[in-house]
Amino acid sequence: MAGICCYAPDGSRARLCFHAQPDSYNDHTLIEVLKQLRRFLRGRPATLIWDNLPSHHSRVMRDWLTSQRHWLQVEYLPAYAHDLDPVEGLWANLKGVELANLTRDTVAEVLAAAQQGVARVRREPALLFSFLRHCGLGL
């Protein structure tokens, strides 16, 4: 699963972009997620705050990001600074509600529960702002 907390620069709006796939993510699949992000944002410029996963720094990813500078700026978090990443609030929230004590037989059932949580968070934009505040970040 990949989640991206999106905030309007003036603080007037927050949205959640969510993507799930059966396999793990790599630079190629993350590029597809970022292409979907661009559609999700309707082409508006964005600043992506990213952690330091190896696939975020691969040659393929660097080349693609360079070609996207007209709409996408990337800022990397310091190493081991997951507490500065607002999307960690999303994962903690889902683990505390829909995924708490969840035992299912299939990954599809776990994904369905996660998607219910994503839908809940999308209905409560104040939660997305609370994830940002919890990190000590502002707009």
Residue-by-residue DSSP string for 66-129: HHTTTTEEEEEPPTT-GGG-THHHHHHHHHHTTTTT---SSHHHHHHHHHHHHHHHHH-HHHHH
Question: What pTM, to 2 d.p., does this model score?
Answer: 0.84
Q: Is residue 15 part of a domain?
A: yes
Asked, for residue 139, whether it belongs to a domain, the answer is no
For residue 24, what are the domain limits? Answer: 2-134
- In the chain, the number of structural domains is 1
Model confidence over 12-33: pLDDT tens digits? 999 999 999 888 899 999 999 9
The dihedral built from the CA positions of residue 102, 81, 86 and 61, taken in this order, carries a sign that is negative
Please report whether residue 18 resides in a domain.
yes
Is 94 a residue whose pLDDT tops 90? yes
Maximum Cα interatomic distance, the chain, rounded to a whole number of Å: 44
Query: Across residues 110-122, what is the average pLDDT?
Result: 95
Residue-wise pLDDT for 27-61, tens only, equals 999 999 999 999 999 989 999 988 877 788 899 99
CATH number at residue 19: 3.30.420.10
In percent, the amount of the chain with pLDDT more than 70 equals: 100
Would you say residue 36 lies in a domain? yes
User: 13 and 7 in contact (C-beta within 8 Å)?
Assistant: yes
Residue 44 CA to residue 91 CA, distance in Å, equals 26
